[in-house]
Amino acid sequence: MITFRVEELIADESGLWSWAARFAPLLAQGGVVLLEGPLGAGKTTAVKALVRSLGVRADVTSPTFDLLHVYDAPGLVIFHLDGYRISDPREWDVLDLPPPGDPGALILAEWGDDLRVQYPERVEISLEMVVSRPEARRLVMTGLGQVFAPRLEAWQKEGAEHGI
């Protein structure tokens, strides 16, 4: 499987919102993003920032207890999932998620490790707390597959060319 990895240090919450504004266009045509990290690392904040950057004006809240929230963005339906309470991978099946490669759907899944098999083309985002800087986060993005690895590589090169 083709992969490409990018790592960034995000200084604080406003930096996470800035990152999302730069990263969201990469997702504007759909795809799957799996977010991982410990409780309090900023997964839901990252999703809120991405969804807002994609044009959604509705309140974006954590679907921890509902499992799924759906948002309509221009040209895109966004599925925000939270698998924290899912103990059996078969529980994802009841959500009736879009098939892999659906160009009008974006899946943003917190605690979505079980979805890796179903969605081999994806971006994985890991948020880690930085011990020496409580507001900072280490953000690691990995593009997997023939679609997202090249997109992520192009995104990184474009950012480097613009001094980002």
**Domain containing residue 122: CATH number:** 3.40.50.300
Distance (Å, whole) CA 103 – CA 133:
39
What pLDDT is recorded for position 88? 85
What pLDDT is recorded for position 41? 94
Q: Which two tokens stand for residue 62?
A: 């954590």
What pLDDT is recorded for position 162? 53
Is residue 65 in some structural domain?
A: yes
122 within 8 A of 148, measured Cβ to Cβ: yes
In this prediction the pTM is 0.94
Is residue 33 in some structural domain?
A: yes
Pairing of strands 105-110, 31-36: parallel
Is residue 90 in some structural domain?
A: no
What pLDDT is recorded for position 90? 82
What pLDDT is recorded for position 142? 97
The whole domain housing 30 covers 3-85+97-161
Is residue 92 in some structural domain?
A: no
**Secondary structure (DSSP) of 5-35:** EEEEEE-SHHHHHHHHHHHGGGGTT-EEEEE
Residue recorded with tokens 């954590």: 62
Ranges under pLDDT 50 in the chain: none
What pLDDT is recorded for position 160? 64
Q: How many independent structural domains does the chain possess?
A: 1
